[in-house]
Structure formats: structure tokens, C-alpha cells
């Protein structure tokens, strides 16, 4: 036999104990994961805002990674263009030194070496792909190997195998920029000067010994042409540098935006650990108290009194 109110008290205390246990499990999960919830349903009214912020965060992180790849390619382009420029200047200086000495004994060897370095610069690769070949990144930009190839081909442009596609990449979410440099635009003027030199060699033989007046005039004209070609290559390098700086600045700005969004998302999803630990302790105490009352209620039956 039980008292009239005992069943109702049991029901109430059982319900309270279960609620306390659920609350303890919920807060315990937050403490262990350091997140408010494991799905959007747990964020209630903030779910829509959180979805939007995470979408933006994904886009920005994608742009940051893309810009890193673009920066790497622009850096390799700068290296290649710089090699073409330096080698063009070396050829010009070799001619100047021969004119100053009045002797061209070693001139052809120096010019051949400079031309070989120009070819290497034009065939620069980034991640295994030719950077000056437009969309034909698996094809060498130029097939020339020595100066004699210049006079064998009908025209110097026939030695370039890039197409005319200029790569364009997004700088940020609003703007894009052309990042590609085409090999023929970069090297055809330089090749044209070397072709004139090789054509004279083919006709009259290699430069050797003291220079006569006709050879001096010819070399002075080629030195002027190399100055012009060098200026064109340097201008291209400067434009590449401006583009490179633009992407570097954009990468920094995008990274800052990504960091800001991470903090904002964390403000919604991350748990205040000090508060969560306090709530967990309170939930554990509530479970213990409910369990204690439930245990005490077991001894409140009238049957226990009658037995006594």
C-alpha cells in the first residue's frame, strides 16, 4: 500500500532526473567538442547567418589557394623573363667589348652562350608546365637550340610554338587580371637580332681577329638593336612584376578576410569554455540532487511505516 501522492511524486522526480541527465549530456558534449552544436539545427536562429558566413569563407579560402598558385607561376615567369633580359644584355656587352678591343676572337662563343641562356629562359617551367606557351603548357615554347636554327627557319616566329591564349586569373571576388606572357611576344625581337648576326656569319664566316670597318658598323647596328630588344624584355618584366605585386597584396587582403570570418564563425559555433564548465558542474549537481531525492522518495511509502 502506498500513499495517495507517492505515484505522482515518483513521476515528477523521474522526469526531473531524466531532464537533468539530458542537460548534463548536452553540456558535456559542448565541453568535449568545444562547439555549441554538431549540426545547423543546434544553432537555431543563427543557422542561416552561419551558412552564409561559411559559404563566403569557402570562396575566400579558394581564392587564397588559387592566388598562391598564381603567385608561384608569376615568380617563375619573372625568373624566365629575367634570364632572357640578362642574356640579351650579355650579348650586347660582348659586342661592346669586342668593339672596344677591336677584336672579335671570342665573340661568337659568347653570343652562342647568351643565346642558349635565352632559350632556357623562354622554356621556363612551373610545376612541370611551360609558362610562356599560352594554353599549350605541355609544349616547349621554342624549339630553337643554337643560333644556326634561326637562319634555317623561314621566319623566327616559326620557332615559337605557343598559341595566343593569354591566361587570366581572378584577383579577388570582383576583379580579374591577365597573368600570362607569350613566348613569341617576349623573344621574337631578340631572336631577330641574333638571326641577322647568324646570317652574316653564314655568308662571311665567323667573326675572328681584328675588326674591319664594315664589321664594326654591322656590330654597332646590332648592339643598338639589342638595346631596343632588351628594353622590350625589361618592360615585360616590369608589367609581370606589377601583376605579381597585385596578387600578393590581394592574397594578404583575402587572408585577413578569411581570418576575420574564422573569428566571426567561431563567435557563433565555439563554446565559452569557462561558462560551459560552470554549466556542466551545475548540471552534474542537478543530476546528483534529483537522484538523491528519488532515493529518498523510495523510503516515503506508508508500507515502510506499517512494517516498522
CATH number, domain with residue 186: 1.20.1330.10
Q: Tell me if 6 is assigned to some domain.
A: no
Q: Tell me if 145 is assigned to some domain.
A: yes
246 and 282, same domain (yes or no): no
257 and 299, same domain (yes or no): no
Q: Find all residues with CB under 8 Å of 264, minimum gap 6, and list them.
A: 53
Residue ranges in the chain whose pLDDT is less than 70: 1-54, 261-308
Domain with 120 in it: 49-266
Q: Tell me if 40 is assigned to some domain.
A: no
142 and 162, same domain (yes or no): yes
242 and 292, same domain (yes or no): no
208 and 285, same domain (yes or no): no
119 and 161, same domain (yes or no): yes
141 and 209, same domain (yes or no): yes
pTM of the full structure: 0.71
Q: Tell me if 97 is assigned to some domain.
A: yes
195 and 216, same domain (yes or no): yes
Cβ 268 vs Cβ 40: under 8 Å: no
pLDDT value of residue 65:
87
pLDDT value of residue 162:
96
| 162-168, Cβ contacts within 8 angstroms, sequence gap of 24 or more | 162/130, 162/132, 162/133, 162/134, 162/136, 163/133, 163/134, 163/135, 163/136, 164/134, 165/134, 165/135, 166/134, 167/134, 167/135
Q: 95, exposed or middle or buried, with CB in 10 Å at 0-12, 13-18, 19+?
A: buried
pLDDT tens-place string over residues 10-22: 555 555 555 655 5
Q: Tell me if 12 is assigned to some domain.
A: no
pLDDT value of residue 287:
53
282 and 260, same domain (yes or no): no
pLDDT value of residue 15:
59
Strand partners, 103: 210
75 and 194, same domain (yes or no): yes
CA 100 – CA 254 distance, rounded (Å)? 54
128 and 256, same domain (yes or no): yes
CA 5 – CA 216 distance, rounded (Å)? 122
187 and 287, same domain (yes or no): no
For residue 267, the tally of other CB atoms under 10 A from its CB is 10
Q: Tell me if 199 is assigned to some domain.
A: yes
CA 93 – CA 83 distance, rounded (Å)? 15
CA 52 – CA 58 distance, rounded (Å)? 10
Number of domains in the chain: 2
pLDDT value of residue 40:
45
Q: Tell me if 7 is assigned to some domain.
A: no
Q: Tell me if 14 is assigned to some domain.
A: no
Amino acid at each position: 500500500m502506498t500513499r495517495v501522492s507517492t505515484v505522482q511524486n515518483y513521476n515528477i522526480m523521474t522526469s526531473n532526473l531524466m531532464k537533468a541527465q539530458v542537460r548534463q549530456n548536452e553540456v558535456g558534449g559542448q565541453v568535449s567538442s568545444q562547439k555549441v552544436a554538431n549540426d545547423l539545427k543546434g544553432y537555431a536562429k543563427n543557422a542561416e547567418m552561419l551558412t552564409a558566413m561559411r559559404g563566403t569563407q569557402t570562396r575566400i579560402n579558394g581564392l587564397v589557394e588559387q592566388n598562391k598558385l598564381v603567385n608561384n607561376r608569376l615568380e617563375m615567369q619573372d625568373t624566365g623573363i629575367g634570364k632572357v633580359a640578362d642574356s640579351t644584355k650579355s650579348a650586347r656587352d660582348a659586342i661592346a667589348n669586342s668593339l672596344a678591343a677591336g677584336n672579335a676572337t671570342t665573340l661568337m662563343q659568347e653570343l652562342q652562350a647568351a643565346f642558349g641562356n635565352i632559350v632556357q629562359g623562354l622554356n621556363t617551367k612551373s610545376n612541370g608546365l611551360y609558362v610562356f606557351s599560352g594554353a599549350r603548357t605541355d609544349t616547349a615554347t621554342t624549339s630553337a637550340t643554337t643560333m644556326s636554327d634561326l637562319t634555317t627557319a623561314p621566319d623566327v616566329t616559326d620557332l615559337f610554338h605557343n598559341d595566343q591564349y593569354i591566361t587570366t586569373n581572378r584577383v579577388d571576388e570582383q576583379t580579374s587580371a591577365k597573368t600570362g606572357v607569350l613566348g613569341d611576344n617576349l623573344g621574337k625581337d631578340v631572336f631577330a637580332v641574333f638571326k641577322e648576326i647568324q646570317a652574316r656569319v653564314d655568308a662571311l664566316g665567323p667573326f675572328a681577329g681584328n675588326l674591319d670597318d664594315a664589321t664594326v658598323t654591322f656590330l654597332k647596328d646590332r648592339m643598338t638593336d639589342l638595346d631596343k630588344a632588351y628594353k622590350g624584355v625589361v618592360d615585360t618584366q616590369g608589367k609581370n612584376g606589377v601583376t605579381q605585386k597585385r596578387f600578393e597584396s590581394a592574397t594578404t587582403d583575402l587572408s585577413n578576410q578569411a581570418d576575420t570570418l574564422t573569428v566571426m564563425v567561431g563567435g557563433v559555433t565555439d563554446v565559452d569554455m569557462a561558462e560551459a564548465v560552470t554549466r556542466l558542474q551545475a548540471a552534474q549537481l542537478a543530476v546528483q540532487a534529483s537522484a538523491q531525492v528519488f532515493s529518498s522518495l523510495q523510503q516515503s511509502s506508508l508500507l515502510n511505516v506499517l512494517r516498522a
